[in-house]
Amino acid sequence: MQYKKSPHSIDDQIELLKERGLTIDEKDLANHYLTHVSYYRLAGYWWPMQSDKEKHIFKEGSLFSDVIHLYNFDRELKLLVFDVIEKIEISLRTKLIYHLSHEYDPWWFENVSLFNDSQALIKTLYSLQEEVERSKETFMKEHKKKYKNDCRFPPAWKTLELTSFGGLSKLYGNLKNTIKSKDVIAEDFGAVNHTYLPSWLQSIAQIRNICAHHARLWNKNLPGTVKLLSKPPKAWIADVPKQHEFQRLYIHLCIMKYMVNIIAPENTFTKRLLNLFEKYPSVDPNALGMKENWEKEDLWK
C-alpha cells in the first residue's frame, strides 16, 4: 500500500479540522499557528481529544484554543525542565572531572581499564573526538596550538566541557563499580551508591533530548525506568507512583527536584511549576502523572 495523500493548504487544514468536529472560533488564530507550527506537531496535542482515532473524529466540545493552551503549556514546561537539567548537567560534569581526575589522572576517560564496556567507551570517545575537532572555544584552540605534539585528548577539565549530558551519563554509568569516585559522586547527589544514579541520569538525558529537540513532553510515554531508594537520605515523596506509572513525567520530575535541592537549595522549581499549572488551568495534571497535592510533599515544599 502506497501513501497517496497530497499536501493541504492552511485553509484546507482548518476546514478539515472543523469537519472532524474541532471547534475553531478564531480562524485568524488557527491560521497563525498552523502557519508557524506544523499540523502534525499540533496533532500530538489534539490526539487525546479524538473519540475515533482512525477517522480522526473529535469529541464533542473539543476546542482549538485548548490545543494551543496545551502546546504553549508544553513549550513553557520544557523551558522550565531544561533550566533545571542545566544545573544537574553542570554539577555532574564538575564532579566527574574533579573526582576522577584526582583519583586517577586527567585522562581517566581514555583509560579502558576503568570501564565495563570497552566498545561503548570507544563510541563515547569517538563522539568526544568530533566535539573536540569542531570546537571553536578559545581554550580548546589555545590547547591545540600549544600542545600540538600531544596526541592525547586535552585533559578532562577541557574535553568534558564539550560533552553532552548523554555523554556524561554514559561515562558515569560505564565506570566499573569498584571505582571509588563512582560511589562518591552518587553520594554527593543523595543516591547513596552507584546502584541508583545511572538510571536517574539516563532518564534525565532522555528528557533533555526531548526538550532540546522541541519534541512533545506533555502526555509523553517515557521509555525506560528508574531505580528508587527505599529510604532516601534527603526529603522525598510519601506517595510514590507504582512501577507502571513511571512512564509518566512526574516521578522523573521528582528525581530532578531531589537532585536540584542538593545542587541549588534555594531553587524555585516548585513555585515555577505551580505557576505554570495556574497559568494554564485547562491542562490536566494527570497527563503528566502528577499526584494529588504533590506540592505538599516534603520534597516539593
pLDDT in tens, 95-111: 999 999 999 999 999 99
Task: Estimate to the nearest angstrom the gap between the alpha carbon of 147 and the chain centroid.
Answer: 36
- What is the chain written as a DSSP string? ----PPP--HHHHHHHHHHTT-B-S-HHHHHHHHHHS-HHHHHHHHGGGEEETTTTEEPTT-BHHHHHHHHHHHHHHHHHHHHHHHHHHHHHHHHIIIIIHHHS-TTGGG-GGGBS-HHHHHHHHHHHHHHHHH---HHHHHHHHHTTT--SPPPHHHHGGG--HHHHHHHHHHB-TT-HHHHHHHHHTT--STTTHHHHHHHHHHHHHHHHTT---TT----S-----SS-SS---SSPPPGGGTTSSHHHHHHHHHHHHHH-TT--HHHHHHHHHHH-TTS-GGGGTPPTTGGGSGGG-
- pLDDT interval class at 25 (50, 70, 90): very high
Contacts with 72 (C-beta within 8 Å, 6 or more apart), sequence order: 280
- pLDDT interval class at 26 (50, 70, 90): very high
Average pLDDT for residues 109-135, to the nearest whole number?
96
Predicted confidence (pLDDT) at residue 1 exceeds the cutoff of 90: no
Q: CA dihedral in degrees (128, 187, 99, 258; nearest 10)?
A: 50
Residue recorded with cell 495556574: 278
- pLDDT interval class at 207 (50, 70, 90): very high
Q: State how far the Cα of 216 lies from the Cα of 248, in Å rounded to an integer.
A: 13
| Residue 273, Ramachandran bin (φ over 0: left; ψ between -120 and 50: alpha; else beta) | alpha
Q: pLDDT (tens digit, 9 = 90+) per residue, 143-202?
A: 999 998 898 999 999 999 999 999 999 999 999 999 999 999 999 999 999 999 999 999
